[in-house]
Amino acid sequence: MRILGLDIGRKTIGVALSDEAGITAQPLKVIKRSSLAKDLEDVFKTARENEVEKIVAGLPLNMDGTTSSTTEFVLKFVEMLKKAGPFPVVTWDERLSTAAVERLLIEGDMSRGRRKEVIDKMAASYILQGYLDNLKNKPL
């Protein structure tokens, strides 16, 4: 069962994909945002091409678990994904995902320019991996 992971931002959407067994997440690509219709089309096209069964969207909560304007922005996009598409969509707490990925890339001595190119899809992968790990750890 493949799952698509999304890191939804105002300018880009980072995309990651699980392996068929649903064990690991790999960064896939970055979608440059243009219009709601085009953004949804790009997400759904990617999902269909990769035969996914579910979409996991990172939910940017504040450190204390409260919501912000960014949370509301993402929730509106998630609602549109649910209404417009055939895929089940769930959210996953993404607190610190971008910060954690950026720290890893810096430790890996990646240049600032290169980090900017990959951070969104790496964050999507981090979000998706957290979701997959949680599924593995749930009792049957």
Residue 120 DSSP SS3: helix
What are the beta bridge partners of residue 12? Answer: 32
Do the bridges between strand 2-8 and strand 12-18 make them parallel or antiparallel, or are there none, so unpaired? antiparallel
- Residue by residue, pLDDT tens for the chain (140 residues) are 899 999 999 999 999 999 999 999 999 999 999 999 999 999 999 999 999 999 999 998 877 888 888 899 999 999 999 999 899 999 998 866 666 666 766 677 666 666 666 678 888 998 999 999 988 877 65
pTM of the entire predicted model: 0.85
Place of tokens 């939804």: 8
Name the residue among 22, 47, 52 with its Cα closest to residue 128.
22
Contact yes or no for 31/37 (Cβ under 8 A): no
Dihedral sign from CA coordinates of 128, 134, 135, 136? positive
Query: Going from the N-terminus, what domains does the chain have, and what CATH number goes with each?
Result: 2-137 (3.30.420.140)
Contact yes or no for 25/16 (Cβ under 8 A): yes
Residue type at 30? V
DSSP summary character for residue 47: H
- How many whole angstroms separate alpha carbon 90 and alpha carbon 131? 10
